[in-house]
A and B are shown apart, each in its own frame.
Chain A
Amino acid sequence: GENVEQHPSTLSVQEGDSAVIKCTYSDSASNYFPWYKQELGKGPQLIIDIRSNVGEKKDQRIAVTLNKTAKHFSLHITETQPEDSAVYFCAAPWKFQFYFGTGTSLTVIP
């Protein structure tokens, strides 16, 4: 199966600063990489995704970059706000299922 590693496991930033979360994957055939945000007591919600035909995708304060050669992709959150505090998961596909990273607990300090 796919091996997805995610770092860091915890991250604290001051409000307004940027946060970066990184994931690596093992299957070079993988071509779709979503990121999910999970707030306490809720299911994961998709926040952004990227396909392998592009190297970067942005949506307001959130961006994802992909390096297929190195097999890693990163989530970038700029101008962080307290409501960004949550657990973030990356995922990579293998066959018809997704393997998830172990999660990053992001705390934005007001």
Chain B
Amino acid sequence: GAGVSQSPSNKVTEKGKDVELRCDPISGHTALYWYRQRLGQGLEFLIYFQGNSAPDKSGLPSDRFSAERTGESVSTLTIQRTQQEDSAVYLCASSLNRDLNTIYFGEGSWLTVV
């Protein structure tokens, strides 16, 4: 596609429910990133995928967070048993390959936990 596509754009969920956020990277981009941005804050790295290599999960804040990616395409970020502190924008980004190319962001998925 023309850009990184994320869905849903907005999600309101009740505390304790599970949520899934989806990212469709730019076609041909092998690297995919998830970041979290709390209101008025900077970008917090969550996880990185590169091709078929094992993902770098070092930024995931707890075991309630997990992410998967099918080959070099769509990725899903799952948050189990959501808490109010999970409320944030979840940004997905992709880049051409691992060689420090420009990363391009999607518009984000705004998650509100009530």
Question: A residues within 8 Å of B by Cβ?
Answer: 31-32, 34, 36, 42-46, 49, 89, 93, 95-103
Contact = CB atoms under 8 A, between A and B. Distances in A.
B50 interface: yes
Interface string B84-114: 0000000100000010101111111000000
B65 interface: no
B42 A34 contact: no
A101 B33 CA distance: 17
Interface of B is mostly: loop
Given A34-B102, A49-B102, A102-B42, A44 B91 contact: yes
Contacts of B50: 96
Interface of B: 4, 31, 33, 35, 41-43, 45, 48, 50, 56, 59, 91, 98, 100, 102-108
A97 B56 contact: yes
Contact of B105 (A31, A44, A97, A99): A44
- State the 4 A-B residue pairs at the shortest beta-carbon distance, nearest first: A43-B105, A100-B43, A102-B42, A43-B107
